[in-house]
């Protein structure tokens, strides 16, 4: 592997990251808050980027370089993005936890009293989620000169889903299209939330978190602070949009070759959300005595929020009965669509696993019959199916390992289970001490490091990070 090429690419990404810190600097200036946190962060990140850019390696990166660049870029972004938090008396581990949660659009937080922190810091916190939602590397590809094969390798390493979804022959054009759609829909949401009653500052922060499926709020009680069904329904709509495949939107708008509900994944995604919403509405109405309207209101918001891995909370579902909590827990394992900003295992993998299981059952009846698995009327290659199965095994393995380690550190079993899956799935809240109105501040420092790793692994779809810890990657 060409280490110099990796350092050079990391330097370019840090160079770009430095300039994103000028945005919260403007917010700090507007609200007459201290400028030092973002000035220092800007120069430290910029200088580090320039120093790393002095390394010169080959530009036709292969698979190894691409994996290392993507994985290390996200880690570096979390570390350098944490610098502004240090100025508000937040420990280094907590600061990295918060920014890793931001860039991976997880939404888990260690901030105890959110409203006591500066507006510029909270803006930066939400902005990190928005930057990470569509992907730091996708942004890197979109704004830098043509990368050719190297850019395609980076895109493949970061893309959420079993396969990358190319919209144009040139990967840079695909990256630009995805970011253009992302910005356009974000702008629509800002306007909608302001019409719904939010200030511009709150609308921007909650749009950044919503479109990234990140879940950060500027209030201690989250979305509940607004006491507005209108705002909740607006956020629900845009969470649903963010959890679907952005490439599908482009094809509908420009190419006009695919109708929305002809896409198998989108149909299943809609079915899961509506199905679990119906079940939760019934449970809240019958078991907890909510009115029919509030039962539906809370159900559709929380199911959409958790399944898309946004993690917003319109009420403290930690206080709900177990019959309601189990439905919330179930959708944590499904996630959004491939090509979305949502987390989790992704709907397409869930569907293909079900189809694979069905085929294996079919073989018991007709052992000699060859029956290919089809998705959107196309046969799915066996190597994709094998990749999905191994992904699920590794995903469950990381989840179990995280749960066991947290339990050994003294965290109760319910908190351990939900903290592990909610960080691995980049969802945000869990139950008990990591519930929607609690946070991760009470998790031991070593436990926070484990959960930082979970967020990192989950956002980059397991393989990109775990492969760095194999001897074969560095020596073969």
pLDDT reported for residue 257:
57
Cβ-Cβ contacts under 8 Å for 209 (sequence gap 6 or more):
107, 126, 129, 130, 215, 216, 217, 310, 312
pLDDT reported for residue 146:
43
pLDDT reported for residue 396:
93
3-state SS string for 77-101: HHHHHCHHHHCCCCCHHHHHHHHHH
Residue keyed to tokens 């922060």 = 205
Decide: 352 and 373 in contact? Cβ < 8 Å: yes
The alpha carbon of residue 355 and the mean position of all alpha carbons in its chain are separated, in whole angstroms, by 26
Q: In 3-state terms, what secondary structure has residue 381?
A: coil
Decide: 101 and 107 in contact? Cβ < 8 Å: yes
Cβ-Cβ contacts under 8 Å for 351 (sequence gap 6 or more):
264, 265, 268, 375
- Write out the E strands in 297-436: 374-375, 378-379
pLDDT reported for residue 2:
77
What sign does the CA torsion over 111, 113, 118, 123 have? positive
Q: In angstroms, rounded to a whole number, what is the distance separating the alpha carbons of residues 342 and 464? A: 18
pLDDT reported for residue 122:
96
Give pLDDT tens digits along the chain (476 positions): 778 888 988 998 899 899 999 999 999 999 999 999 999 999 999 999 999 989 887 766 677 887 888 889 899 999 999 999 999 989 999 999 999 999 998 989 999 889 999 999 999 999 999 998 877 666 666 555 444 444 455 555 445 555 455 545 456 677 778 888 889 999 999 999 999 999 999 999 999 999 988 889 999 988 999 999 999 999 999 999 999 888 888 877 776 655 677 888 899 999 999 999 999 999 999 989 899 999 999 999 999 999 998 989 888 888 899 999 999 999 988 888 888 888 888 898 888 888 888 888 887 877 777 778 888 888 888 888 888 888 889 999 999 999 999 999 999 999 999 999 999 998 988 899 998 876 899 999 999 999 999 999 988 888 888 888 888 777 75
What are the helix (H) ranges across 308-373?
322-332, 347-365
pLDDT reported for residue 333:
87
């Amino acid at each position: 592997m060409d280490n110099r090429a990796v350092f050079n690419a990391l330097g370019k990404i840090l160079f770009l990251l430095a300039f994103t810190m000028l945005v919260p600097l403007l917010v700090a200036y507007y609200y007459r808050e201290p400028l030092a946190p973002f000035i220092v962060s800007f120069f430290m990140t910029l200088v580090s980027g320039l120093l790393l850019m002095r390394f010169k390696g080959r530009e036709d990166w292969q698979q190894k370089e691409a994996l290392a660049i993507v994985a290390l870029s996200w880690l570096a972004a979390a570390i350098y993005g944490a610098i502004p938090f240090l100025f508000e008396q937040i420990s280094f581990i907590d600061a990295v936890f918060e920014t890793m949660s931001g860039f991976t659009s997880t939404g888990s937080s260690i901030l105890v009293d959110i409203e006591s922190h500066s507006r510029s810091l909270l803006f930066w916190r939400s902005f990190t989620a928005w930057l990470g939602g569509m992907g730091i590397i996708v942004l890197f590809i979109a704004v830098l000169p043509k990368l050719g094969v190297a850019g395609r390798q980076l895109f493949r390493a970061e893309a959420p889903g079993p396969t990358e979804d190319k919209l144009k022959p040139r990967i840079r054009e695909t990256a630009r299209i995805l970011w253009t759609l992302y910005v356009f829909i974000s702008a629509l949401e800002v306007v909608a939330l302001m019409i719904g009653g939010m200030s511009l500052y709150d609308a921007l922060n909650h749009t950044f978190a919503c479109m990234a499926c990140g879940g950060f709020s500027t209030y201690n009680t989250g979305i509940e602070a607004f006491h507005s069904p209108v705002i909740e329904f607006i956020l629900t709509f845009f969470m649903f949009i963010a959890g679907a495949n952005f490439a599908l939107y482009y094809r509908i708008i420009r190419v006009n070759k695919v109708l929305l509900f002809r896409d198998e994944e989108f149909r299943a995604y809609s079915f899961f959300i509506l199905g679990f919403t119906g079940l939760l509405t019934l449970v809240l109405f019958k078991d907890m005595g909510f009115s029919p309207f509030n039962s539906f209101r809370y159900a559709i918001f929380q199911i959409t929020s958790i399944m898309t891995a946004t993690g917003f909370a319109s009420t403290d579902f930690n206080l709900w009965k177990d019959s309601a909590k189990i439905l919330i827990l179930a959708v944590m394992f499904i996630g959004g669509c491939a090509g979305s900003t949502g987390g989790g295992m992704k709907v397409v993998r869930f569907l293909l696993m079900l189809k694979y299981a069905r085929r294996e059952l079919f073989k018991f009846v007709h052992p000699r019959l060859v029956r290919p698995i089809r998705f959107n009327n196309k046969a799915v290659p066996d190597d994709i199916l094998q990749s999905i199965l191994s992904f699920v095994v590794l995903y469950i393995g990381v989840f179990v390992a995280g749960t066991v380690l947290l339990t050994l550190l003294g965290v109760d079993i319910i908190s351990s289970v939900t903290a592990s899956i909610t960080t691995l799935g980049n969802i945000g809240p869990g139950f008990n001490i990591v519930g929607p109105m609690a946070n991760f501040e009470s998790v031991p420092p070593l436990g926070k490091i484990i959960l930082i790793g979970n967020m990192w692994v989950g956002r980059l779809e397991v393989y990109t990070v775990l492969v760095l810890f194999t001897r074969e990657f560095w020596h073969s």
